[in-house]
Every structure is written in C-alpha cells, then in structure tokens.
Amino acid sequence: MSENNGSAIGIQGARKRYKPIVGAPQRDAVQGVDISVASGTIHGLLGPNGAGKTTTIKMLLGLVRPTAGEFRILGEDSTRPAGRRHVGFMPEQPYFPQHLRAGQALKLYAQLGGVPKSEIGPRTSRLMERVGLQGREKSTLDAFSRGMLQRLGIAQALINEPAVVVLDEPASGLDPVGQRDIRNLMLELRDSGVTVLLSSHQLSEVEAVCDDVTIMNAGVVAAEGDLDTLLNAEGRTSIRARGLEGGLPPQVQGLATDVAVSGGVSVFSVADEAVRAVIDAVDDTGGRIVAVMPVRDSLEDYFARLLANTSGEVDVR
Amino acid sequence: MMSRIYPIARAVVADSLRRKVVYVVVLFAALLAFAIPFLPDYGLGVQEAVFREVALALAFVTAIVVTLSLAANRVPGEAERRTVYNVVAKGVSRWEYLVGTWGGIFLVAGAAVAAFTLIEQVIGFINYGVMMWVLWEGALAIWLEMGVIAALAVAASAVAGPVVVVTLTLAVLFVGHSRSTLLGGEGALAFRPFFPSLDAFNVVNPVAHGGGVPLEYLAGMIGVFVGFTGLALIVGGTLFGRRDL
C-alpha cells in the first residue's frame, strides 16, 4: 500500500461542474480545491451549507464523477473501486436496507469490504459494543432510532478496519453522550494510526478533535491549516494576574490592550515578544501571575469572520 | 468480484422475501390455477393441453409481475435512500452492484416460477392423474425470459424512475413477441435477423400441445438469454457508472 508524501488523502484541483438545464448558467459546485490530509491525523472539513464539502467527499469516494482533479487515498486513485478498498465511509444520515437486522447489515458490509469469513462474527460483536449497540444484533433496522442508525453507520464504516475513515456529520442526531462517544472514538482511531477526514457543522466537535482543518466556502478553499495557527489572533498572549489593585505597572501599561479587571483579577493581552518583560514587571510590583495563554479566537468567531470576508467570491458562470 | 456480487444478490433475495408482493402474487395465481379445470369451454379430449397452456400463461404473468415489482424501483430506491453509498464507498464497482442486484431478482423470480409450477403440477395431478413434468420446460423458458426482463429493467433503472422502467420493459416485451406481426410483410422480412425477438422463449406449443422442448432448442434459448442479459447489463453498468449519486 503506497502513500503519497505522507498524505493519506490527497485532492488536487478538484472541480465539479453541473451541466445546466438548457438556458441556465453553468455552475461550478466545487472548483480548484486542494486538500492534503496527513497520515494518522484528524482533518476537519468545514463550511456552510452549499460550500461544496459533500460534493468534494463524494468525488473522493467515487459517488460523483469529477469534472477535473486528482483524488488519491493512500496513493491510489480513489475514483476507481480498487482505490477505496481501505476506506471506511459514513454518509450524513446513513440509511440501510430496512429489512435487515443490525448484525446482518454489518455482515453484508463486512463481506463487501473483504473481511475474512472467520473474522466477521467477532468483529461485528466488537464493533456493536464499541458504538453502544451491544445486544441489538438481532433487531431489525426499521426499529432503530436515528441515533442508533448513526451509531450503526459508524460501525459499518469501521467494519473493514480501514486505514482511512471519512465521516460526514458523524454526531448528527446523537445525544450529548453519543457525541462525546464519537469524539472519543475519533481520537482512538487517530491514536491507532487511522486517518480521519471529518466533515462537520459542529465547530466545537471540530475544535475538540481536529489537528488540521480546511474551510470551504462557495466551492473553494477559504482557509486551511492547523487550528492553533488559524485561531491564534495576531501573535498576542493573554495574561491573568492578581495583586494589581493599584493598576498595571507603568512599564506594562503601554504594552497591554483589552484590559479588564474583575474580582481582583486583571486580564490583559500583550504581544508575544513582550510576555517575558511583562511577567517580570508584574512580579516586581508584587503581582501574581495566574495564567499565561495565547489569545485564541473561538472557531465560531473565526469561521463567521472568514465567511463574511469570503462571501461574494462565489464563482457562478 | 464474486465475493462482492454474491452478498449483494443475497441481500436482494432477503429483502425480496420479506416483501409481501411475491407471496401474494404467487398465491393469487395459484387460486386462478385451481380454477383452470372449470373453464367453460374446456374441450373434451384436450383438457390436459388446455390446462398446460393456461397454466403457462398464468406462470408468465405471475413472473412478470414479480420481476417488475422487484426490479423497477430497486436501484432508484437505493440511490434515493442513499443505501448505495455504503456499498460503492466500500470499493464495489457499480457494475458489480448492478449485476448483484440483477442476480438477486433473477433468483427470486426463479423461486416464484418454481413455486407456481409446483402448484400447477399438483393441480394437474389431482385433476388428470398425471405428473406434467413438461411444465418445468416451460418454467425454465419463463425464468430465462424473466432474466432478460430483469436485466433490462435494472439497466433502465440505472438512469430512470420506476414508471419509465415499467413502461419501457412492457414495451420491449410487447415488441419482443411481435416479430411476426410487425415484420410479417415481405418487404420487412430482411429486417427479421435484426429484430430483438424474445420469441425464443415462447415454448407454449411444444409444452402444451407437443412432446416437449428439444434439448438443442433449450441450449439455443440459454444462448439467447446470455446474449440479451449480458448486453442489457453492460449497457446498464455503463450508464450507472456515469451517473452522479
């Protein structure tokens, strides 16, 4: 199994143009999208509705024919069936043949995924337990709630022990405990060397588990990188200190911004390069440093700002 | 390849057997079969032949209803409900998915035809005291024709909805059995070799009134089945492969 420069997933120049009904303008749902997902990481794919996330994933998995672009998983062309044999995919709101029992469904997907016959039973039991559906193997799927189907969707994605897992809104329809379980599962997968591509609207989920993100808007990549870099606001550090009732030391006053005092705790931010000097100055005036941390946007704020800045860049032809 | 086609076919069989339509159609046809000996113009001396002829017609209609009810909405339904995503994303080729689907429907159609033929045989034995083994030759012909029909329906359903599929399939069925009518004139005779005829599967005369179907003819019938089915599945696989899901 070859890999491509350490990338488990590589998408280059992805483009999908839908042929219009006669007279309507042509529209690129996705254009010029490049995504690289390093092996053994969790990569978030974010974007508002209609951003092109699902179309990109569908092109990657051979569900939609790309107009242009190269799609590779573990170095193999994933638009061909053979290139998808080591992939697990859970679509948004997974559906299953309703007549099947949960155990039968997993057996079917195990067979399709090439799982050896002797391993299907034990693996099915293990996965059912892992997604919290133990004891439900014989239940027919028409009796499953949406959350249970979601859990089974994750189990079917993992049944062939894939090296790459693509999850489209995995926590959708799950209660808070279920969402936490999914987060833990993704972290476990990463720890075991599995690469996860996570498409999600739940920014808290993405922020909690993803190493890197690609943010799409209007069919193009609006931003990409590791979360710490993306969310670190202009190289500033937040400092919390006690014992500064008389105000900030004079040598700090010129450096600090966003100063707030509450309950005897002074909070202010300074440039990263001034942190050492500011801490010394606080110490010298009898103050006590409580916390020093990089100023970091919330992903929600960053996301909203980015979309506001990139709106209007929709390529409609 | 077979390791992926077989589970799909088996899932189609399991799904089909849980639907009531197969049992209802076979049961209804069986009730009609019991009524055959009571037909008003049942000619003295030809009762057995007439029974076989009507029984074959009933088996044909039963098989058509079962096949189309299973085939017309199978692929469109799976695409709409997105159950096909899990299959294709597992590295299954789209043509493997289509062939597996066809295989499952073909097996269920065969089981329905076999069940009905068995019922006909029992009715024939009860009424006439003879085991009409020749009915199984007719059943084979019907089953093979249903294989062609199922392949055509599955191929069409790769790009069309159930209404179009049923209409198209019935049209092909009608045209396929109308070569003599449509190309009966002398001027049209030259087109006969190119006509997509399904008449090869019409064995009513040898089964109902003759001494059965010769082995060579059965072999030729299987050849026609393989040719038409293969062509339909190749076209269907190509169309489905080009479709966005």
Pairing state between β A76-77 and A288-296: unpaired
Structure tokens given for A81: 């069936």
Q: Out of A249-253, B134-138, B150-154, which region has the weakest mean confidence (pLDDT)? A: A249-253
DSSP state for residue B206 in the 8-state scheme: I
CA–CA dist A241, A252 (Å, integer): 12
Cα B85 to Cα A59, A75, A181, B94, B186: the distances in Å are 12, 22, 24, 11, 52
Contact B15 A114 (CB under 8 A): no
**Three-class secondary structure of residue A225 per DSSP:** strand
Min CA distance, B172 vs chain A (Å)? 29
Mutation target to probe the B interface, by most B beta carbons within 10 A, among A112, A140, A167 is A112
Burial class from Cβ neighbours inside 10 Å (0-12, 13-18, 19+) for residue A118 reads exposed
As given in the structure block, the two tokens for residue B56 are 């074959």
Q: What is the mean pLDDT of chain B?
A: 88
Instruction: Give percent helix, percent strand, percent coil of chain B, each to the nearest 5.
Output: 80, 0, 20
- Range of lowest pLDDT (A117-126, A127-136, A292-301): A292-301
What integer pLDDT is reported at residue B189 of this predicted model? 66
Chain B interface, best mutation among A30, A63, A100, by max B CB count within 10 A: A63
Could you tell me how many CB contacts below 8 A there are between chain A and chain B? 84
Find, in chain A, the residue whose alpha carbon is nearest to that of B245: A63
**Could A99 and B18 be called an inter-chain contact, meaning their C-beta atoms sit closer than 8 Å?**
yes
User: How many of the other CB atoms lie within 10 Å of CB of A233?
Assistant: 13
Confidence band of A2 (pLDDT split at 50, 70, 90): very low
Q: How far is B3 from chain A (nearest CA, A)?
A: 7
What gap in Å lies between CA A295 and CA A269, rounded to an integer?
7
Q: Is B20 at the interface with chain A, CB within 8 A?
A: no
- Give the residue from chain B lying closest to A159, CA to CA: B90
Which of A62, A111, A156 is facing B86, going by the closest CB pair? A156
Say whether A95 and B90 touch across the interface (CB within 8 A).
no
pLDDT digits (tens, 9 = 90+) for A174-220: 888 888 888 898 999 999 999 999 998 777 788 889 999 998 988 89
pLDDT at B4 > cutoff 50: yes
Distance from CA of A294 to the nearest CA of B (A): 41
| Angle of the B47-71 helix axis to the B20-35 helix axis, nearest 10 | 170
Complex prediction ipTM? 0.80
* C-beta separation of A227 from A203 below 8 A: no
Assess B242–A contact: CB distance below 8 Å, yes or no: yes
Q: Is the pLDDT of residue A278 over 90?
A: yes
Residues B63-99: tens digit of each pLDDT: 999 999 999 988 998 888 888 998 998 889 999 999 9
B88/A contact by beta carbon, under 8 A:
yes
Q: CB–CB of A33/A218 below 8 Å?
A: no
The span from the CA of A279 to the CA of A282, in Å, is 5
Q: Which residues of B touch A30 (CB under 8 A)?
A: none
